[in-house]
Amino acid sequence: MFREEKGKEKSKRHQTSIASRVSIANGITFLAAFIAVLTILLVCEGIFLFHKSDESMRVLSNSTMNLLDNTLRDMGRVSLICFSDDRTQRIVHSYRNEGIREQIDDTKYLDHLYTSMVEIRGDIQGITITDNDGIIFHKDPASSIRSGGYGESFIQKLDEVGKQKGTVSGCNIFVGNLRDYFAYRSSNWDDIYHMSFLYLTRTVYRFSPYQEIGHIVLNARVSHIQEVIYQSLEETLEQGALYTYYSYDGTVICSSDAGLIGTKVSVEDQGKEGSLRLWNASVVKRKGTLYMCTLAKSEFSNCSFELLVPVSSIARNLLPTFLISIGTGLLLMVTTILLSTYVTKKRLRELKELSVDLGKFHRKDLARRYIVENNDEVGQVKRAINSMLCVIDDLVKSEYEHKIKLQQNQIFEQDLAMRYLKNQINPHFLYNTLETIRITAALNHDKVTANMLMQLVTFYRRGSRAESALVPLEDEFVTLKAYLNLMHYRYEGLHYEFQIEKSLNKVEIPNFILQPLVENSLFHGFKNRGYQGNITIKANQKDGYIFIYIIDDGMGMSEECIRELNQTDGTFDANIQRERSGRHIGIQNVKARFHIFYGEKGGIHFENNALGGCTVIIKMLPEIVETDGLKSGGK
């Protein structure tokens, strides 16, 4: 019972139409593709937004840093004005030794100088001038009268800061609160920005003798620094961004977190609290929230400005892209499923009819042929069925066997022709006999005859090595030189020259393949001239091929002869050779052997020279090509 129910369920699954399955498959494929594309799109958009935000933050940080540097630079210039004033330096040096009237005049002068500085720079809140013993002048609208003491702790702080190398126009900076030796009038005691100050201190020196005599200190409220930052970052700060302005020693000058003002952070730790890299942007975690972080470093003041923008504010920009993509994707998916269902059903109607007809196929229907109306998939199926009914397989098989036999016959005939060429004489008997004659001639002091016999023995000994199908190129040239030496003994007007690259000596070449080509050049080029002339053999490598040239300055060959030699394609056919009645049989055998080893990757070409004579060009690879002839035993 269970098996029957299982079989019915399986049958129902198989009864699902191809159109439905294709539609479902298309829908799943489209959904997967859409999810992948959406993911890639969001990732790319995210990368773009993060890069864009990172660049914008860097621009904002650098521009804010420039504004802050300009503020410090202007304060430094004002401090330099005081430092450069000769009377100010005289007051600092001799104030303690003057009378009351002179001190009052000096105080009025310094008060006037401060008023002038305030007119130049409205951000300067106060000025303090000290000598080595204490404060000699102080002007600050926020303070009233000195509450007691001479500011010894303040002088000590100035001495500590003065030991550091100046960073702003020769001045040093530090952050501090209100000085405890003055009484202050203010309604903003709880405003840390208003009650904290940035001090710019410059050390005053006496030049004769050179010694430190005091300090000029300008101060500005941190609230003014805050205003400069807000002017640059107002829109960014409204989105929840944070900032911190560090001095060159890591002291926080101003920050969105007022509690950090005056605290010290090491330069190495700035911007690194819980930092990580996200798409090439620096991300830090502060109080459980992720922020993109940029840190601008000033080359002028060595101060740093850190800007933090919430990652969530940047990610919110991806929401419109996400919603638009989801809506567009769903619409396209539904449209694709409906269209694919309609088109698939329409195209499969003819295939369904064909399947029903094939289900009723019988032996007597072997003569049936389906009419192919279209070249679509259905037409291809009908054409394939017609081909099967024609029983083509048997014909293909018989044709294949015929080609294999024909190829084997060709290889066999090529092998017979090569062996016939090389076994026309008994090589061992011949060169042994010639060696005996050469020794006899040498003993009889006939050096010319002995040398001729040595060349002949060398030629036959190397040329008759049938056991070696391949020999190094230098061995083939030794055989060729022996042959040309014999020809020179016979015809003294015949001269030869070899121009061979030494790097090619070890390249292997089919044995005894150059001599027939040289003999052909001698026969056609010098026979009718009494074998008077020059023949040159060159070998070089170019463009991955080895080229061997056999060049003579003889009479050349007729155009018909050149055409016949070049038409020989290297394949061997006994019937064609019989028709040619032995013409160029040696060259045909050489090209046939050459084709066995190199196939279509090499060749032998004949051409007449422009100034007379003929050139044979042999093109071959540095290594033997595994042709069908070698695979079947041609080697």
Note if the bond before 320 is cis, omega within 30 degrees. Answer: no
Q: Report pLDDT for 534.
A: 94
Q: What single letter denotes the amino acid at residue 613?
A: G
If one counts the domains in the chain, the total is 2
pLDDT-derived band at 579 (thresholds 50, 70, 90) equals very low
**302 plus 414 within the same structural domain:** no
Quick check: is 576 in a domain?
Answer: yes
- What predicted TM-score, i.e. pTM, was given to this entire model? 0.47
**511 plus 619 within the same structural domain:** yes
Distance CA(424)–CA(397), nearest Å, equals 41
Q: What is the pLDDT of residues 17-36, one digit of tens each?
A: 666 777 777 778 877 887 88
Question: Strand, coil or helix: what is 552?
Answer: strand
- Strand arrangement, sheet containing 533-542: 494-500, 533-542, 545-552, 614-620, 603-608
The domain boundary residue, chosen from 294, 315, 336: 315
Instruction: Enter the tokens of residue 217.
Output: 């200190």
Mean pLDDT to the nearest integer, 572-583: 47
The domain boundary residue, chosen from 255, 289, 315: 315
**279 plus 413 within the same structural domain:** no
The domain boundary residue, chosen from 315, 340, 356: 315
Instruction: Enter the tokens of residue 573.
Output: 């056919």
Q: Is 164 a residue whose pLDDT tops 70?
A: no
Q: How far is CA 103 from CA 108, 110, 168, 201, 229, in A?
A: 9, 10, 31, 23, 41
**224 plus 84 within the same structural domain:** yes
Quick check: is 247 in a domain?
Answer: yes
Q: How far is CA 548 from CA 167, 338, 350, 499, 581, in A?
A: 78, 70, 65, 10, 29
Q: What is the pLDDT of residues 292-314, one digit of tens each?
A: 888 888 888 888 898 888 888 77
Q: Report pLDDT for 281.
A: 61
Residue 159 sits in a domain of what CATH number? 3.30.450.20
Q: Which of 153-157, 259-263, 427-431, 506-510 has the lowest mean pLDDT?
A: 427-431
**156 plus 288 within the same structural domain:** yes
Q: How far is CA 305 from CA 155, 213, 293, 506, 611, in A?
A: 29, 34, 10, 72, 84
Let me know: does 151 contact 130? Beta carbons within 8 Å. yes
Look at residues 297, 293, 295, 296 and name the one whose alpha carbon lies nearest to residue 278: 293
Q: What is the pLDDT of residues 430-455, one digit of tens each?
A: 666 667 777 777 777 777 777 777 77
**124 plus 255 within the same structural domain:** yes
What is the domain extent for residue 523?
Answer: 408-423+466-631
Distance CA(71)–CA(544), nearest Å, equals 71
Q: Is 90 a residue whose pLDDT tops 80?
A: yes
Look at residues 434, 271, 319 and name the one whose alpha carbon lies nearest to residue 42: 319
Q: Report pLDDT for 619.
A: 93
Q: Is 148 a residue whose pLDDT tops 50?
A: no
Q: Report pLDDT for 464.
A: 61
Quick check: is 612 in a domain?
Answer: yes
Q: Which residue has the tokens 């449209």?
A: 335
Quick check: is 131 in a domain?
Answer: yes
Q: Report pLDDT for 364.
A: 64
Residue 519 sits in a domain of what CATH number? 3.30.565.10
**415 plus 278 within the same structural domain:** no
pLDDT-derived band at 167 (thresholds 50, 70, 90) equals low
Q: Report pLDDT for 425.
A: 44
Q: Report pLDDT for 549.
A: 96
**109 plus 224 within the same structural domain:** yes
**291 plus 412 within the same structural domain:** no
pLDDT-derived band at 99 (thresholds 50, 70, 90) equals confident
pLDDT-derived band at 151 (thresholds 50, 70, 90) equals low
Quick check: is 493 in a domain?
Answer: yes
Contacts of 273 (CB under 8 A, 6+ apart): 284, 285, 286
Look at residues 469, 482, 462, 474 and name the one whose alpha carbon lies nearest to residue 419: 469
Quick check: is 571 in a domain?
Answer: yes
Average pLDDT, the chain: 76
DSSP string, 232-269: HHHHHHHTT-EEEEE-TTSBEEEESSGGGTT-B--GGG
Q: Report pLDDT for 79.
A: 78
- Rg, C-alpha atoms of the chain: 52
Q: What is the pLDDT of residues 479-522, one digit of tens each?
A: 889 888 888 888 889 999 999 999 999 999 988 889 889 988 88
Q: Is 614 a residue whose pLDDT tops 90?
A: yes
DSSP string, 344-381: HHHHHHHHHHHHHHHHT--GGGTT-------SSHHHHH
Quick check: is 295 in a domain?
Answer: yes
Q: Report pLDDT for 206.
A: 78
Q: What is the pLDDT of residues 322-347, one digit of tens each?
A: 778 788 877 887 887 777 777 777 77
Distance CA(54)–CA(91), nearest Å, equals 52
Q: Report pLDDT for 548.
A: 95
Q: Report pLDDT for 2.
A: 46
Q: What is the pLDDT of residues 386-426, one digit of tens each?
A: 777 676 456 656 777 888 877 776 776 666 566 655 554 45
DSSP string, 144-193: EEE-SS--HHHHHHHHHHHTSPP-BTTBEEEEE---TTEEE--S-TT-HH
Q: Which of 47-51, 143-147, 567-571 has the lowest mean pLDDT?
A: 143-147
**591 plus 475 within the same structural domain:** yes
Let me know: does 471 contact 465? Beta carbons within 8 Å. yes
Percentage of residues of the chain with pLDDT beyond 90: 8
Mean pLDDT to the nearest integer, 205-209: 77
Helix ranges (H only) for 464-584 are: 473-490, 515-526, 559-567, 574-579
Q: Report pLDDT for 184.
A: 52
Q: What is the pLDDT of residues 457-482, one digit of tens each?
A: 777 766 665 556 788 999 889 888 98
Residue 629: CB atoms within 10 Å: 23
**310 plus 419 within the same structural domain:** no
**489 plus 604 within the same structural domain:** yes
Mean pLDDT to the nearest integer, 186-211: 76
Quick check: is 152 in a domain?
Answer: yes
Buried b (16+ CB within 10 A) or exposed e, 504-532: beebbbbbbbbbbbbebbbebbbeeeebe
